[in-house]
Chains A and B, each alone.
Chain A
Amino acid sequence: MSERFHDIAVTVNGEEVRERVDARKTLVDFLREDAALTGSHVGCEHGVCGACSVRVDGVVVRGCLMLAVQCDGARVDTIEGVADSDEIADLQEAFVARNALQCGYCTPGMLLTAQELLARGGVPSREQIRTHLSGNYCRCTGYQAIVDAVEAVAQARAGAKR
């Protein structure tokens, strides 16, 4: 019979978090409850809305579809860590300037997902931006301001490279 509780060690935003967790606990619940990092949000718990998006070993995943035990030994980055590192400062600034967020609930997931696209370089088309963000539900903005912000940052970063 397998164990219900497991000792795991996860590096969250550069800091090691050691906890004994229930095998069924999702990654996002682990982050919110055990690491007390509430910046990643729970919107559906079935992988559709994207509010729980976090980075695991550099890749954006659904925190509600991964178990905490799957992240034993992994590096997890949440919005708090990414924000504190200034990695997406220009994107955050663009979001604020264009009101690309209203209630802010989808915003952490939206920012991490957008950064994933931007990090590939180049200037994606608006259609490409919309497609890349099509797994992040926003009820407030209607998406246009978000697309505008991502497009503007892509152009600025591409311009800065020359």
Chain B
Amino acid sequence: MKIADDSPPVVSALDRPNSYIGRSVPRPNLARLTRGRAQFVSDMTLPRMAHVAFVRSPHAHARIAAIATAAARKAPGVVAVVTGAELAKVITPWVGVLTHLKGIKSAPQHAIAVERACWQGEAACAVVARTRAEAEDACGLVEVSYEELPAVTDAETALDAGTPIIHPELGDNLTFERVHVAGDPDKGFKDADAVVETTFVFGRHTGVTNEPRAILADWNPGNARLTVYHGTQAPHMMQNLFAKHLGLEEYQVRVVTKDVGGSFGIKVHTYADEMATVALSKLLKRPIKFVADRIESFVTDIHARDHRVKAKIGVKSDGTITAWEIDDLTGIGPYSVYPRTSGIEANQIVNLTGGPYVCSNYRARARVVFQNKNVMCQYRAVGHPIATAVTEGLVELAAAKIGMDPLEIRRRNLIPDDAHPSSGPSGIKFEALSHHEALAHLDAMMNYAGLRAEQKRLRAQGVHRGIGFASFIEVTNPSAAFYGVGGAKISAQDGVTMRLDAQGAIICQSGVTEQGQGAEAVLAQVAASAFGVPIERVRVITGDTDNTPYGGGTWASRAAGIGGEAAWQAGKALRANVLACAASILQAKPEDLDIRNGAVVDRDSGSERLPLHELARIAYFRPDTLPPGFQAELVATRHYVPRAWPFAFTNGVQASYLEVDTDSGIVKLLKHWCVEDCGTVINPQLVDEQIRGGVVQGIGGALFEHCIYDARGQLLNGNMADYLVPMAAEMPDIEVGHVVTPTADSELGAKGAGEAGTAGAPGAVMNAINDALRPLGAKPLTHMPFTPGRILQALGRIGASAPV
């Protein structure tokens, strides 16, 4: 393994002349985004398009006794008013379960609620009108008679005997439970010289994508085809689901994803509102558009990370960790989200806790319970922020208890870099990680000793700064082990079709999707390098089920590692095809030729033999001049799926340096560092920017973001004035460093990088706050978000019953 900051990795298989691998090439598709000429689905219009607005339940749990729609139907501009019962004739309900989460259960969810509304904000009726404003006006005229039912709003009591069961047919409010024991945790705790036991609480929060969810569904009865313009991460998955629930064949459905204004996992799920929109298009035989407004987003975009984790760590006085134990309780919504299920986040917490460390004495229990709140599901870094904060929080609390430096305790317990392949306490398999190299790099990068000295000096002046760390592992490049094995029609494989056009440029069609992370740029870099053209001669097409190979889209940090590998293989294959054609034209041997910088060249001397545009001209327009029996094939398709490892785990370590104002409780973030090992780095700038964006998103959950519900199941702060998101003034500069450990499961060796920032940031910030406040005798803070009120409470400056 090599430590690299900005220099490209030396990987011989990729060492083609003029390779773009490892170069920070600006993304080719940015100009239109800076000129206001992008094509977001929320910008689109179609002829005869109508808009849908939803009447939403104000109650967390209520029977829908009756819906009076006569007045709404007569309102100006109204095309139709459709209830859940009426729409159920057009679209079937779904259940969010998978077979590999043993015992998971959920109830059928309809596109629009039929008998009951089960969370505040669930749609109870749809109004379709010529304009969104007219639809909303008419929503005000719809009279829904609700009979309120008792709401389940406390995960801690959801399984108590006296608590109402949301879905009586399921028997209880338990969605999923998983128990895992490894090694001998009882002995481990007995052998410990110190045991730290605490409870971590993570505030439910949400993605707040800048562009809200947007969909424009167009059912054309003339050719019985459904075209859906959808801001989704997974167009092929949605194609399958729209077809399945509308009773169509997949080839009748085309899903097109244009520019997407941020996803982060929010847009990989199946939403009732979107299913209702496509069903309404089929019912009304015209294009129907739905864009969630921000208020709707807060009550319908999936929430995430609502967990209470009781946790315990055993440690010897020499710093050796002897055992881990967690008990995780998470309260989701009334339905497990479809099709990925709402059991995955808890499952990941069991999988990932303790992951970076040698100690494999581990006991874990996770329970997922239904509640009458908005639904919950996978959001950037799925489970990792929680598992990492729990693990790293315990590690630093243990270090404090035995009086050991937090980096030193990590040095004594992280899996050695030469111990791979290895596994974590839950049995997850690691191909090769670099925890120690990363830690050493971080230590140097941040000048740790210097910061400790500065901290000490300033403490004497009453300024309280803290330094906190978080080592992490991160799931990327998922194989079918993530979803496919459970029966989900979610593709782990992906493909690229590459062809030479009539002018010698290449067109590259891929099943992964662009969400702003730079997938199209990475594909272009790989394609240009593998084939042999300047990157300006590459056009990338993504996000269209009619025009790309079948693929999985973007999630779990797979676009570069999996989509990129498919592009690499397709580029090599197309090069071989083109060289076969060149050889026939030049009467040479293909193995004596190469393609470099847009021309066929002599492999040894590099001298140009035939420009690509000339080869294309001959192949497409003058095939009469080719040798008889030779057919030019200037297109190649290759697919790729990881097979050797269920996931390509990456690793890294983060540090936060901050200052706590002990009078106001306000935290000022001074600096943040992340050393990341994501294997072969295709574009260093894009990796760094994913880390930075991910870190800030993680900081949001640590300091600001919380979907606050009251006991009645009402979301109290569902708007951007009351739900705080990180803005520029509060965020630090973030320095990123790299270690490079390629995966051998692909030729490129690239792992994913999109989620690592979010995985480690909350834990690092938490540890830094506690490091700052420990000498003041403050109770360790373990309840996110760390609001000024909570910090003042920990300092004893305000009472335990004050609202925070």
Contact = CB atoms under 8 A, between A and B. Distances in A.
Nearest to A80: B36
Contacts of B719: 44, 46, 48
Contacts of A101: 30, 33-34, 516
A132 to B, nearest CB: 8
A99 interface: yes
Given A42-B42, A103-B259, A37 B36 contact: yes
A103 B692 contact: no
Interface in B715-742: 719-721, 725-731, 733-734
B294 A45 contact: yes
A139 B35 contact: no
B656 to A, nearest CB: 14
Contacts of A92: 31, 34-35
Residue among A102, A111, A141, A147 having the largest count of chain B Cβ atoms under 10 Å: A102
Nearest to A22: B133
A147 B728 contact: yes
Contact of B727 (A40, A95, A137): A137
A96 B30 contact: yes
A37 B43 CA distance: 9
Contacts of B697: 139, 142
A62 interface: no
A140 to B, nearest CB: 5
Contacts of B733: 126, 144, 147
Interface in B225-252: none
B38 A104 contact: yes
A26 B357 CA distance: 55
A30 B212 CA distance: 19
B33 A48 contact: no
A146 B133 CA distance: 35
B696 A143 contact: yes
B642 interface: no
Contacts of A145: 689, 692
A80 B260 contact: no
Interface in A5-60: 22, 24-25, 32, 37-46, 48-49, 51
B210 A106 contact: yes
A22 B210 CA distance: 26
B34 A142 contact: no
B27 to A, nearest CB: 7
Given A92-B35, A144-B734, A104 B43 contact: no
Given A92-B34, A140-B693, A143-B696, A102 B721 contact: no
A104 B30 contact: yes
Nearest to A29: B133
**Interface size range on A against B:** 35 or more
Interface string A108-139: 10010000000000000010011101111111
A102 B36 contact: no
B293 interface: yes
Contacts of B757: 142
A146 to B, nearest CB: 7
Contacts of A143: 696, 726-728, 731
A158 interface: no
Interface string B776-798: 00000000000000000000000
A44 B515 contact: no
A79 B734 CA distance: 29
Interface string B514-537: 011110000000000000000000
Interface string B667-690: 000000000000000000110010
A111 B40 CA distance: 18
B103 interface: no
A98 B164 CA distance: 54
Contacts of A66: none
B36 A105 contact: no
User: Interface SS of chain A: helix, strand, loop or mixed?
Assistant: loop
Nearest to A50: B727
Interface string B734-765: 10000000000000000000000100000000
B622 interface: no
Contact of B728 (A79, A103, A136): A136
A25 B136 CA distance: 13
B262 interface: yes
A99 B210 contact: no
A130 B31 contact: no
A80 B35 CA distance: 6
Contacts of B264: 139
A139 B728 contact: no
B577 interface: no
B635 interface: no
Interface in A53-94: 78-80, 83-84, 92
Contact of A103 (B208, B260, B695, B727): B260
B89 interface: no
A143 B699 CA distance: 13
A105 B294 contact: no
A105 B40 contact: yes
A138 B515 CA distance: 14
Contacts of B515: 102-103
B62 to A, nearest CB: 27
A131 B729 contact: yes
Interface in B691-722: 692-697, 719-721
A139 B725 contact: yes
B17 interface: no
A120 B217 CA distance: 46
B30 A144 contact: no
Nearest to B134: A22
A40 B695 contact: no
Given A96-B27, A138-B210, A144-B692, A79 B35 contact: yes
B721 A46 contact: yes
A146 B685 CA distance: 13
B261 interface: yes
B37 interface: yes
B33 A107 contact: yes
Contacts of B209: 139
A147 B516 CA distance: 18
Contacts of A24: 133
Contacts of A108: 36
Interface string B263-283: 010000000000000000000
A43 B294 contact: yes
A97 interface: yes
B623 interface: no
B36 A48 contact: no
B182 to A, nearest CB: 36
A32 B132 CA distance: 13
A88 B264 CA distance: 30
B293 A99 contact: no
A94 to B, nearest CB: 10
B799 to A, nearest CB: 31
A43 B516 CA distance: 16
Residue among A43, A83, A131 having the largest count of chain B Cβ atoms under 10 Å: A43
B35 A83 contact: yes
Interface of A: 22, 24-25, 32, 37-46, 48-49, 51, 78-80, 83-84, 92, 95-99, 101-108, 111, 126, 129-131, 133-147
25 contacts: A40-B36, A43-B212, A46-B721, A48-B721, A83-B34, A83-B36, A96-B26, A96-B30, A97-B26, A98-B685, A99-B685, A104-B516, A105-B210, A108-B36, A111-B34, A136-B728, A137-B727, A139-B725, A140-B516, A142-B689, A142-B694, A142-B696, A144-B731, A144-B734, A147-B733
A-B pairs with lowest CB-CB distance, top 4: A39-B36, A103-B516, A104-B33, A105-B261
Interface of B: 26-27, 30-31, 33-38, 40, 42-43, 133, 207-212, 259-262, 264, 293-294, 515-518, 685-686, 689, 692-697, 719-721, 725-731, 733-734, 757
Given A41-B40, A80-B37, A101-B516, 17 more contacts: A39-B37, A42-B293, A48-B721, A49-B210, A51-B210, A96-B34, A103-B210, A104-B261, A111-B34, A135-B727, A138-B210, A140-B516, A141-B689, A142-B692, A142-B696, A142-B734, A144-B692
